[in-house]
Amino acid sequence: MGKLFKFFVVFGLGTLVMLWSETRAQLKCELTNDPAKIQLIDDDVKNFLRALDLLGAERDWAAIIQKEYLDKASSGLKEFLREKGFKAEHFVKAIRQRREAYDSLRDLPKQLALQEKTIRGAFAGLKKIIPNAVFMPVYYLVGPRPGALGEPSEYGLMISISELDTDIEKIHLLLVHETIHVQQALTIGMAEYQAIFGPKMSLLALSIREGSAYFLTLLSTGGHTHKDSYDYYIQNENELWNRFKKDMNKRFPGDWMWKKPTDPEQPPDLGYIVGARIVEAYYNNAKDKLKAVQDILLVADYKEFLNKSRYAEKFLEK
């Protein structure tokens, strides 16, 4: 999850109370409450593929990428380039290193079109558990880094893909996960949302923030974004929880998320799973499930939420 858009809304406890005129003034995209009306935009992918077709041994690759891809950028791609600082040279270097991976993208527009029904269905599932959910346009992009990267911005959700080895059939899970981060920001306000990347940063805070998106994605779609990590954690839950407890107040996440762990046997991003289990415990203990989801979106005191979840209690019983 990357840096979010910079705008403010008014929220009420337990519901998303939005001032639509003020929100539109702050954002540079239109929001919708209707999953059927979400814009799914793949113009940048098509422009990149046209540029790729023009690359030859004797040609100026940077000039072609600039003219055919970057100069024709959508609002989403422009923001992606601005945030990441990517230039034509970054794409040229990536293509030279991984030409086969980029060539595999020729079927991407067709594959994305085939996933549209699943994507809209996943957003509809999210709306069942967050009735006031709002949705941004989705921009499919091609980036210079391997894998798939999802990130909200003022212009919409930016989904960067650089190889078709990425499991396109699971892209709806990435889109829902990032959309939940948008709902979190709408609910608690941007100052509080950004605080865990500053003065409130801790492994526990980051894990509950990401774990909330993980659990609510699972709840609304039935799908896992990190299935191998989830299974590994469940199999070793007692041991891993005791390790996590010792680290949870540390300011930075260490091996728990966003990097390859030093232990080759440990799968990545276990912090997401710890957070998801904490959130799941809170949800399961709640009588009012709709309110529980809103409580999860409202989390700003992460130690208090851990206590309220009663997740740690089951380890005391063993």
**Nearest partner of 140 among 109, 166, 163, 165, judged by Cα:** 109
Q: What are the tens digits of pLDDT across the range 272-299? A: 999 999 999 999 999 999 999 999 999 9
Q: What are the tens digits of pLDDT across the range 215-263? A: 999 999 999 988 999 999 999 999 999 999 999 999 888 888 888 888 8
Q: What are the tens digits of pLDDT across the range 85-126? A: 999 999 999 999 999 999 999 999 999 999 999 999 999 999
The lowest-confidence range among 8-17, 27-36, 74-83, 146-155 is 8-17
pLDDT reported for residue 15: 29
pLDDT reported for residue 134: 92
Residues across the chain: 318
Q: What are the tens digits of pLDDT across the range 51-98? A: 999 998 778 999 999 999 999 999 999 999 998 999 999 999 999 999
Domain boundaries, the chain: 1-191, 196-316
Categorize the per-residue pLDDT at 12 as very low, low, confident or very high, splitting at 50, 70 and 90.
very low
- If one counts every other C-beta atom within 10 angstroms of the C-beta of residue 78, the result is 15
| pTM assigned to the model | 0.86
pLDDT reported for residue 165: 64
Tokens (6 digits) for 255: 């091996």
Q: How confident is the model over 19-36, as a mean pLDDT? A: 66
**Nearest partner of 280 among 230, 181, 212, judged by Cα:** 212
b/e burial code for range 265-304 (CB count within 10 A of at least 16 → b)? ebbbbbbbbbbbbbbbbbbeebeeeeebbbbbbbbbebee
Q: What percent of the chain has pLDDT over 90?
A: 68
**Nearest partner of 40 among 145, 141, 154, judged by Cα:** 141
For 119, half-sphere exposure in the C-beta direction (CA atoms, 13 angstrom radius) is 23
Q: How confident is the model over 177-202, as a mean pLDDT? A: 88
